Chains A and B, each alone.
Chain A
Amino acid sequence: MDAGLRRAYVETLAPAAAVAPLPLYFTDGASAKAIAVYELALALLWWRARRGRPARLPDTALNLAGLAYLLLLAFEVSVLHHGLLRCVSHLLLFTALAKLASIKSAGEARTALLVLFLLTLAAASSSTHVSSLLYFAAMALLAFYALARLAVLADFEEAPPERVLRSVPTVAVSLAGIVGAALLCVPLFYGLPRLKGPYAIAPFRLEDGLSTALAADRVDLESFGAAKRSDRVVLRLTADAADWKRIVRLREAVFTEYRGGVWTRRPSLLRQPTGAPRDLPLPPGLEPVRIDLNLFAKGFLFLPYGVERLHVEGGRSAYPLADGLLQASPGRRALTYEVGLGRPAPVRGAGSSAIDPQTVPREIAEYAASVVGDEKNPPAVYARIESRLRRDFIYSLEPPSPRGDPLVDFVLRSRAGHCEYFASAAALMLASRGIPARLATGSYGGELGLFSRSIVVRGGNLHAWVEADLDGTGFGVLDPTPPAGLPEATSHGSFLRSIAALGREVEFFYDRRILGFEALDQQRFFEAAREEVSGLTQTASNWSSAWTARAIRRGIEVLAVGGALLILAREWRRRWRRVPPATRAYVALRELLARRVGFVSAATPPVEVARRLARSMPDAEDDAAAVVEAYCANAFGGRSLDSETEQDLARRVRRLRRLAS
Chain B
Amino acid sequence: MTRLIPDWEIRITNFGLGYILMCLVVAIAATNTGNNGLYLVLAGMLASMAVSGVLSRRNVRGVSCEIESIGEVVATRPALLRVRLQNTLRTGTAQALFFLHEGLPGPLWVDPLKPGERREIVVEGRFPRRGVVRIPDAGLLSRFPMGLFRKYRRAIAAREIVVYPLPESSRVPEAPPEEARGGRPHAFRRGGGFDIRTLRDFGPGDDPRDMHWKQSARMRRWIVREREAERDRAVVLTVDNALGDPEDPAALDALEHAISRCASQALVLLSRGGEVGFQARGVRVVPQTGRPQRARVLDALARLEAVARDGAPAFPSLRRGDHRVLVT
Task: Report A's interface with B, CB cutoff 8 A.
Answer: 110, 114, 117, 120-121, 124-128, 132, 136, 140, 144, 147-148, 150-152, 154-157, 160-161, 163-164, 167-170, 172-173, 176-177, 180-186, 188-189, 192-200, 514-518, 601, 603-605, 607-608, 611, 635-636, 638
Interface pair B107/A155, CB less than 8 Å apart: yes
Number of residues from B at the complex interface, CB < 8 A:
63
Q: Which residues of A contact B112 (CB under 8 A)?
A: 167-168, 170
B152 at the interface (CB under 8 A from A): no
Least Cβ distance of B279 to chain A in Å? 12
For the complex of A and B, 5 pairs with smallest distance between CB atoms:
A151-B147, A196-B34, A184-B47, A151-B143, A188-B43
B308: chain A residues at CB < 8 Å are 601
B122 at the interface (CB under 8 A from A): no
17 CB contacts below 8 A, A to B, read: A121-B29, A121-B38, A144-B145, A167-B95, A168-B112, A170-B93, A170-B112, A172-B91, A173-B93, A177-B52, A181-B44, A185-B43, A196-B31, A199-B36, A514-B36, A608-B313, A636-B299
Residues of B within 8 A of A147 (CB): 145-147
Judge if B169 is at the interface, Cβ distance under 8 Å. no
Interface positions, chain B 16-46, Cβ under 8 Å from A, are 18, 22, 26-27, 29-44, 46
Contact with B51, one of A126, A181, A604 (Cβ below 8 angstroms): A181
Residue among A151, A164, A185, A196 facing the most chain B CB atoms (10 A cut-off)? A151
Given contacts A163-B111, A168-B144, A184-B47, contact A635 B160 (CB under 8 A): yes
Nearest B residue (CB) for A188: B43
Q: Are B44 and A140 in contact (CB under 8 A)?
A: yes
Point out the residues of chain A lying under 8 angstroms from B26, CB to CB. 121
Residues of A close to B18: CB separation below 8 A: 110, 114
CB pair A189–B15 under 8 Å, yes or no, is: no
Q: Which of A126, A127, A161, A603 contacts B305 (CB 8 A)?
A: A603
Distance from A21 Cβ to chain B, minimum over Cβ atoms (Å)? 15
B34 and A195 within 8 A (CB): yes
Query: Which of A132, A184, A635 has its CB near the most chain B CB atoms (within 10 A)?
Result: A184
Q: Nearest-CB distance from A572 to chain B (Å)?
A: 19
Since A147-B145, A189-B40, A611-B282 are in contact, a sample of 13 more A-B pairs with Cβ atoms closer than 8 Å, ordered by chain A residue number, is: A125-B41, A136-B41, A155-B143, A169-B96, A170-B93, A181-B48, A184-B51, A185-B40, A188-B46, A195-B31, A195-B34, A514-B40, A636-B303
* Chain A residues in 8 Å Cβ range of B36: 198-200, 514-517
- Assembly CA distance A487 to B98 (angstroms): 66
The winner among B107, B112, B284 for most chain A CB atoms within 10 A is B112
**Contact yes or no, A196 B33, CB < 8 A:** yes
Report yes or no: B95 in contact with A173, Cβ–Cβ below 8 A: yes
Chain B residues near A193 (CB-CB < 8 A): 31
Contact A144 B146 (CB under 8 A): yes
Q: Out of A160, A168, A192, A200, which one reaches B37, CB within 8 Å?
A: A200
Residue of A nearest to B114 (CB): A170
Contacts of B162 in A (CB 8 A): 636
B326 neighbours in A (Cβ, 8 Å): none
State whether the Cβ of B55 lies closer than 8 Å to any Cβ in chain A: yes
Interchain CB contact (< 8 A) of B145 among A151, A154, A518: A151
Q: Is B51 a contact partner of A180 (Cβ separation < 8 A)?
A: yes
Query: For the complex, what is the distance from the CA of A611 to the CA of B305, rounded to whole Å?
Result: 17
| Cβ A125 vs Cβ B37 within 8 A | yes
A419 to chain B, nearest CB (A): 36
Chain A: which residue is nearest B56 at the CB level? A151
Q: How many A-B residue pairs lie within 8 Å, measured between CB atoms?
A: 186
- In the complex, A103 Cα to B160 Cα: how many Å? 46
What residues of A have a CB within 8 angstroms of the CB of B35 in the complex? 125, 198-200
How distant is B136 from chain A, measured CB to nearest CB, in Å? 15
**Is there an interface contact between B40 and A124, defined as CB atoms closer than 8 Å?**
yes
User: Which residue of B has the minimal Cβ distance to A113?
Assistant: B15
Q: What is the CB-to-nearest-CB distance from B263 to chain A, in angstroms, rounded to a whole number?
A: 17
Residues of B within 8 A of A516 (CB): 36
Residues in B with CB closer than 8 Å to A172 are 91-93
Indicate the member of A128, A168, A194, A601 with the most B CB atoms within 10 Å: A168
A357: min CB distance to chain B, Å: 51
Interface string of B293-309 (1 = CB under 8 A from A): 00000010001011110
Given contacts A177-B51, A184-B47, contact A199 B34 (CB under 8 A): yes
Q: For residue B160, which residue of chain A has the nearest CB?
A: A635
> Is B54 part of the contact surface with A, judged by Cβ < 8 Å?
yes
Given the known inter-chain contacts A176-B55, A180-B51, please indicate yes or no for A603 contacting B43, CB distance below 8 A: no
Contact present for B33 and A199 (CB under 8 Å) = yes
Give CA–CA (A120, B40) in the complex, Å: 12
| A-facing residues in B198-244 (Cβ within 8 Å) | none
Choose among B31, B34, B147, B160 the residue that contacts A150 (Cβ–Cβ < 8 A): B147
Given the interface pairs A151-B143, A151-B144, A155-B98, the reply to whether A192 lies near B42 with Cβ below 8 Å is yes
Most buried by B among A156, A172, A181: A181
Considering the chains assembled together, what is the distance between the CA atoms of A193 and B43 in angstroms? 11
Which A residue's beta carbon lies closest to that of B143?
A151
Q: Which residues of B contact A124 (CB under 8 A)?
A: 37-38, 40-41
- CB of A488, distance to nearest CB on chain B (Å): 33
Q: List, in ascending order, chain A residues with CB within 8 A of B303's CB.
A: 605, 636
Q: In the complex, are the beta carbons of B145 and A173 less than 8 A apart?
A: yes
B50→A151 contact, CB < 8 A: no
Residue on B nearest A632 in the bound complex, by CB: B303
- The yes or no answer to B118 lying at the interface (CB within 8 A) is no
State A148–B148 Cα separation when bound (angstroms): 10
Set of chain A residues within 8 Å of B43, measured between Cβ atoms: 185-186, 188-189, 192
Chain A hits for B283, CB < 8 A: 605, 607
The reply to whether A188 and B47 form a contact with Cβ atoms under 8 Å apart is yes
Given contacts A184-B51, A196-B34, contact A148 B44 (CB under 8 A): no
**Which of A198, A601, A605, A635 has the most CB atoms of chain B within a 10 A radius of its CB?**
A605
CA distance A125 to B25 in the complex (A): 14
Q: Which of B29, B30, B147 has the most CB of A within 10 A?
A: B147
- Determine the distance from Cα of A126 to Cα of B37 in the docked complex, in whole angstroms: 8
Q: Which residues of B contact A198 (CB under 8 A)?
A: 34-36
Given the contacts A155-B143, A181-B48, A189-B43, A168 and B96 also touching, CB distance less than 8 Å = yes
Provided the pairs A114-B18, A136-B40 are in contact, do residues A603 and B282 lie with their beta carbons within 8 angstroms? no
Q: How far is it, in angstroms, between the C-alpha of A636 and the C-alpha of B161 when the chains are bound?
A: 10
- Chain B residues with CB under 8 A of A170: 93, 95, 112
* Distance of A126 Cα from B41 Cα, bound (Å): 12
Contact of B95 among A168, A183, A194, A608 (CB under 8 A): A168
CB distance from A300 to the nearest CB of B (A): 26
Report the separation of the CA atoms of residues A602 and B285 in the bound assembly, to the nearest whole angstrom: 22
A494 to B15, CA, bound (A): 51
Given A200-B37, A514-B36: A148 touches B146 (CB 8 Å cut-off) = yes
Q: Which residues of A contact B160 (CB under 8 A)?
A: 635-636
Interface: B159 (CB within 8 A)? yes
Asked if B44 contacts A136 (CB within 8 A), the reply is: yes
Instruction: Compute how far the CA of A151 lies from the CA of B144 in the bound complex, rounded to whole angstroms.
Output: 6
Instruction: Given A157-B106, A169-B95, check contact A177 B307 (CB 8 Å).
Output: no
Complex CA–CA separation, A336 to B144 (angstroms): 45
Residue of A whose beta carbon sits closest to that of B307: A603
B109 interface residue, CB < 8 Å from A? yes
What are the residues of chain A within 8 A of B27 when measuring CB–CB?
A: 192
Let me know if B246 is at the binding interface, CB within 8 A: yes
**A126 proximity list for chain B (CB < 8 A):** 37
Is the pair A127, B147 in contact by a Cβ cutoff of 8 Å?
A: no
Tell me which residues across on chain B come within 8 A of A185, comparing CB atoms: 40, 43-44, 46-47
